[in-house]
Chains A and B, each alone.
Chain A
């Protein structure tokens, strides 16, 4: 049962442009949402999070938007840089219990 879904397996953008990665979830009880970034041969690393009581959280070039009514969140990267090329995982948890991940989206930022 995939409670967290990332329907786009890959995304390619030009350096300097905006990257938008999308994520949908099915469990309305989730209270925290997180994005992780993963480089090859490494474990995922935490990028940014958002509480379910907010609709936006910004950290430098990274902004996460949450639309609870649509059960949808997105990660915006502006401007995109070649070093941002990685696999991005969306994750969600309820009451700080288990953490459910999506299948990931591979982002390629072209110079």
Chain B
């Protein structure tokens, strides 16, 4: 398996533009998480899905942020309109939480570095 695939790896955009980040989870994994990494707050959980259904989106900072998971192999995180304070690295992670017992180990993608000018 190629692991969790995120695109784009780098995005530079201007304030006010729409940004769409994409994620392909590991095949067979039924939970997907979006995190944002900043220097101040480390890894913040934005939203997670179980079986394509959003379970907890309380970490989504504002209405400008939205996430979808139309099927088991694809998810998007959209920011519209983007602002300079949204600049961060955004990670997607997946896990087969319903298939294993014990600790819920996430597999992360390499991240999408977003810069909003």
Contact = CB atoms under 8 A, between A and B. Distances in A.
A59 interface: no
A101 interface: yes
A38 to B, nearest CB: 8
Interface in A33-80: 34, 36, 41-46, 49, 51
B97 A104 contact: no
Size band of the interface chain B makes with A? 20 to 34
A73 B104 CA distance: 18
Given A43-B109, A44-B91, A103-B42, A97 B102 contact: no
A32 B102 CA distance: 8
Contacts of A22: none
Interface of A: 2, 6, 32, 34, 36, 41-46, 49, 51, 89, 91, 93, 96-104
Q: Which 7 A-B pairs have the closest CB atoms?
A: A43-B108, A103-B42, A101-B43, A49-B103, A96-B104, A32-B103, A46-B105
Interface of B: 4, 33, 35, 40-45, 48, 55-56, 91, 93, 97, 102-111
